[in-house]
Amino acid sequence: MPDIRLPAEAKFKTELEALAAHDDKPRPPGWALSPRAVETYILGGSKPVGGVTITPKYVGDKGLIQVCIATLASDRALMLVGEPGTAKSWLSEHLSAAVSGTSALIVQGTAGTSEDHLKYSWNYALLLAQGPTPEALVPSPVLRAMRSGKFARFEEVTRTSPEIQDALISILSEKQVSIPELGEVVSAQRGFNLIATANTRDRGVNEMSAALKRRFNFVTVPVVEDLEQEIQIVTKREAELRNDYQVGVPPPEELSRILLTLFQELRKGVTKDGKTKVRTPGAVLSTAEAISVLFNSSILAEQFGGGKVTPHELAASLVGAVVKEQEDDVKALREYMETVAKGRTGAWKDLYSASKKLLRG
């Protein structure tokens, strides 16, 4: 059975190879590609490179990607911040894959992340048998990245405890980890850097210290505000998911448009024409959430529906996505349906009647 999800470097292997083969620009030490080629890889190319079309991995501001790449070539680490679901981890994965050839050196930041995850731990059976030897050492992804001169990724920095954040400071400023048990100091090889992500909504959980912030350049990944752009992202990603999971039927374009119009209007609190105010629900209405709603409804249609995605399936997945925890969100969605969707034509009407049943009570 094939893996359901391939890492970026495997999935886009041919693109990366083609870019590397035709890359005549200077590469920073330890980099697999030149900054220009990395940019092309992320944003897609207008013409094929060595016969391979470079697909866009991120749709949005070119300047933002350039700031990311320019940062990574320096001794500062990169911090991607933004609302949940704005493709921060996605961007971090692709940047590592393009520059270091691997996106696997990753630490997931949680409340339980310990210093072992950041530095090293031991294989205790070997440790007891042989004492502290290099073989008994279990290096962390960060340590492996330092040794091999690659990018490490650190997800959700603000979810880790202040102790861990402090440990990160020393790694980022000294660029080395000492292993006193072995009497050894591991220094980072050229090409090492770190890409961290943090949610703006989590800022309150464990606010980063000024000292840690100083080790990073910050790039805010924005919420997509352009409707056409978001439709493009969502339909593309949803098709990829269907392909990866081998399930679902393609949803019609009209429904994607309706879904994203609804998402953008609820997010902004006002309709596209600027005439009607709507209540913003507490749940996160990210692009990622829209992708999941669309994918979900396509599975619903295939498995339990008539083999075609209709407003009925869309409404069913939508309610689950928008109404997560708060009762108020039901009201917000119901209000939206009554004040906005009801008055519109086409599939909006069906969406309205389908959601009416679901939202009752």
Partner 1 sequence: MDLDLLSRVHLFPVRHHSPRTTAVLGRWLERVKPEVVLIEGPCDASDLIDVLCDAETKPPIALLGYRTDDTPGSALWPFADYSPEYAALRWAKVNRARALFIDIPVGVSLGMDRHDETAGVESEEVPEGERHEHLHDEEPLTERFAREQGYRSFEELWEALFEAPDWTPEGFRPVLLAWADVLNAGPRQDYHRWRDAFMARKVLEVVASGVAPEKVAVVAGAAHIAAFLARDVEPALEAKLPKAVPCAVTVIPYSFPRLSEQLGYGAGNRAPHFYQKAHEAQCDFRRATLEVLIDFAAHLRMRGFTASLSDVLEAYRLAMTLADLREKSAPGLDELREATVATLCRGDATHVDAFLWKSVVGHQVGRVASRIGKNSLQAEFWRELDTRRLPSTDSAETFTLRLNNTVEVGSSVFLHRLRVAGIPYATLAATGQQRASPQEAGGQAALTRVRESWQAQWTPSTDVALVEKIVLGDSLEAVTTRVLQEQLDAAKTTGAAADVLLESVITGCPQTMAAALRACDTHAATDVDLPSLASAARALSGLVAYGTSRAHTDVGDEAVAVLCQKTYSRALLRVRESCACAPDALPSVVEALRTLHEVALAQPLADKAGWLAEARELMDSSTVHPATSGLATGLLYLAHELNEAEVALIVGLRLSLAVAPDEGASWLEGFLGVNALVLVKNREVVKALDDFLTSIDPERFRQTLPVLRRALGVLGTTERRYLMENVVAVRQLGEKGRAVKTVLEEKDTAKLKDMSAELGKVLDDLDDLL
Please report how close the Cβ of residue 105 comes to partner 1 at its closest, in angstroms. Answer: 23
Nearer residue to partner 1 within complex by CB, 171 or 212: 212
To partner 1, the closest distance from the beta carbon of 203 in angstroms equals: 11
Q: Looking at beta carbons only, is 32 or 234 nearer to partner 1?
A: 32
Question: How far apart are CB 80 and partner 1 at their closest, in Å?
Answer: 8
DSSP annotation of 176 reads E
Closest distance to partner 1 from the beta carbon of 207 (Å):
12
Closer to partner 1 by CB, 8 or 69: give it: 69
Give the span between the Cα atoms of 157 and 348, in whole angstroms.
41
CA distance 338 to 340: 6
Q: Contact at 8 Å (CB) between 162 and 210?
A: no
User: Residue for token digits 């396509």?
Assistant: 298
Supply the minimum distance, in Å, between the C-beta of residue 79 and partner 1: 7
**CA–CA separation, 224 and 267 (whole Å):** 11
Token pair of 83 as six digits? 């609302």
CB of 248 to partner 1, least distance (A): 36
The residue among 69 and 234 lying less far from partner 1, judged by its C-beta, is 69
For 35, the 3-state DSSP assignment is helix
CB atoms within 10 A of CB 320: 13
The kind and range of the H/E element at 187 are strand 184-187
Residue (21 or 211) nearer to partner 1, CB: 211
Alpha carbon distance 178, 143 (integer Å)? 10
- Whichever of 63 and 180 has its CB closer to partner 1, that residue is 63
Closest CA to 102 of 195, 170, 39: 195
Q: Cβ 37 to partner 1, closest distance in Å?
A: 11
Taking the least distance from each CB to partner 1, the nearer of 19 and 333 is: 19
Rounded Cα distance, 345 and 52, in Å: 43
Binding residues for partner 1, rule: CB under 8 A, are 35-36, 39, 62-63, 66-67, 69-71, 73-74, 76, 79, 81, 210, 213-214, 216-220
Query: H or E stretch including 196?
Result: strand 193-199
